[in-house]
Structure 1
Amino acid sequence: MSSAFLNQMSSFWSSPAATAAPWSNIKTTLPRDIHAHVQKVYANLATMLALSAVAAYADLVGIVNGGSWSLLACFACMMVFTFTPPTRSNERLRQYLLYGFSFTKGLSLGPLIAHTLYLNPAIVVKALLGTAMVFGCFTVSVLTSPRRDVIYLRGVMATATMTLAGLSLVNAFMGSAALFSVELYFGLLVFAGFVVYDTQLMIAKAEMGNRDYLGHSMEL
């Protein structure tokens, strides 16, 4: 009996499945042209995040002070970008608007980050790592999945968003710690759901011929 057990353990550890790296089987199911479009979107999204980080740092050290003006400028860039058609002649303008939106967004977040650093610097690090982990994991799950059925859950996601907004409004008057916890973790689930939904929607649009990588970056 012991020899049989040892033989089974030996065959298990010597099997190809055990010796292969677990991430070696992770492959996208996207066609080559869609894969190139997704790479372009995420490269542009990384640039946007870098600009927001630089702007937030500039506000923290006092180089440029954000506030109401940066919030209005952020909203203006977003609205003009939304109503500018994605044509070849407008690509440079839309790119500047997108990067302007990212920079002013970072300036607007600067005061909030400064207040958080004053309370507890670890909160910023945890928020950054947690957001990156959730966004990265759920994005990889979409890119490696052949199914696109989550894009039909738009009504569910909209209902969840309205529910979250209602909870926030109610708790603004109640001040309940328990309701705040429900709102916090429910918001995390909604955020994860939108990561999956928006990524699948971007891929579905690309498969139908929409290669507006700037618009897709804004949606993400």
Structure 2
Amino acid sequence: MERPGLNTFLNSFSTTLEAPVKQHIKNVYACLSMSTLAAGLGASIHLFTNIQAGFLSAIGALVFLFLLMSTPDDNGKGMTKRVGYLLGFSTLTGVGLGPILETAILINPSVIITAFIGTSVIFVSFTLCALLSKRGQWIYLGVYLGLIAMCGFVLYDTQAIIEKRRQGNKDFVAHSLDLFIDFLGIFKRLLIILMQKEEESNKKRRR
């Protein structure tokens, strides 16, 4: 016998979104997952090698972003190239995260894992709110002001992706870029908040 809660959830998801939209969302999240892994690889390159790209990684990320935005989707014909540009942008963006991650490691390495898990939970929660709510409605949670803004972007961007697909826009690569930037923004803000709290706790212990 199936649980009513799970049944209701699956039925809500099925009835809220049309089949083409659901497939599009799957493609978007596949790209988002690859982007997140690429960013993790980029951060690892900075942390575990002697490569200190800094300014160059920022310039490189902008170049990849420009190439991605200037290469038309053309009904999926340029998809492989555009996914490559997206992963290049994500990797170099991850390299750019290196300095703040180094600082976090000096304070307490566990805050990085906590920030990532917290970001994932927040991101998934707000995405589900956007996917399962009625068309054009959003549900907001009470968190820090910066996080509220970024969570609002997750809600807005997710429902904007759904509406764009309904209007015939199948460019899931560009849509995943929007969500990757949202994910990165939440992660940075949450990491900073956790670092500040850890520093305050360390100061209190020293007293």
TM-score (norm 2): 0.76
* Distance change in 2, residues 1:92/1:20 (3 Å): closer
Aligned to 1:22: 5
Measured in 2, the distance between the counterparts of 1:61 and 1:136 equals 30
Match of residue 177 from structure 2: 218
For residue 216 of structure 1, report the CA deviation from its aligned partner. Answer: 0.5
Q: Displacement, 1:103?
A: 0.6
Q: Deviation at 1:122?
A: 2.5
Worse overlay, 58-67 or 113-122: 58-67
**Range with greater deviation from structure 2 (68-77 or 22-31):** 22-31
Does the 8 Å contact 1:60/1:110 carry over to 2? yes
Deviations 1:13-44 (A, max 9, x none): xxx9xx93533321311111110110011011
What letter corresponds to residue 196 of structure 1 in structure 2? L
**Contact 2:123–2:154 at 8 Å: present in 1 too?**
yes
Letter in 2 for 1:58: I
Q: Deviations over 1:162-188 (max 9, x none)?
A: xxxxxxxxxxxxxxxxxxxxxx92101
Judge conservation of contact 1:66–1:111 (CA < 8 Å) in 2.
Answer: no
2:80 paired with 1:92: yes
Contact kept in structure 2, 1:52 and 1:102, CA below 8 Å: yes
Aligned to 2:204: none
**AA matched with 2:163:** A
> Aligned Cα RMSD in Å?
1.9
> Hey, what does 1:144 align to over in structure 2?
132
Contact 2:58/2:92 (<8 A) preserved: yes
Say if 2:56 is the partner of 1:69: yes
**Residues 53-100 of structure 1, C-alpha deviations (whole Å, 9 max, x = no match):** 011112111164331111110111112211222114432221111110
Q: Please, what TM-score do these two structures have when normalized by structure 1?
A: 0.72
Question: How much has 1:132 moved relative to structure 2?
Answer: 0.6
Task: Point out where structure 2 has 5 or more consecutive residues left out of the alignment.
Answer: 180-207
Tell me, yes or no, if the aligned pair for 1:66 and 1:110 is still in contact at 8 Å.
no
Give per-residue Cα distances to partners, 1:88-123, cap 9 Å, x unaligned: 443222111111001101111112111111112122
Work out which of the residue numbers 61, 80, 102 in structure 1 matches 2:90: 102
1:122 maps to what in 2? 110
Compute the displacement of 1:148 (Å): 1.9
Residue aligning to 1:49: 36
Determine the C-alpha separation between the residues in 2 that align with 1:108 and 1:57. 11
Q: Confirm or deny: 8 A CA contact 2:86 2:177 kept in the other structure.
A: yes
Q: Give the paired residue count.
A: 170
Identity %: 30
The match for 1:173 is: none
Query: Which consecutive residues of structure 1, in runs of 5 or more, have no partner in the other structure?
Result: 1-15, 151-183
1:188 paired residue number: 147
- Matching residue of 1:209: 168
| Structure exhibiting the larger radius of gyration computed from Cα positions | 1
Which 4+ residue blocks in structure 1 deviate beyond 6 angstroms?
none
Deviates further, 199-208 or 22-31: 22-31
Cα 1:39/1:62, change in 2 over 3 Å: same
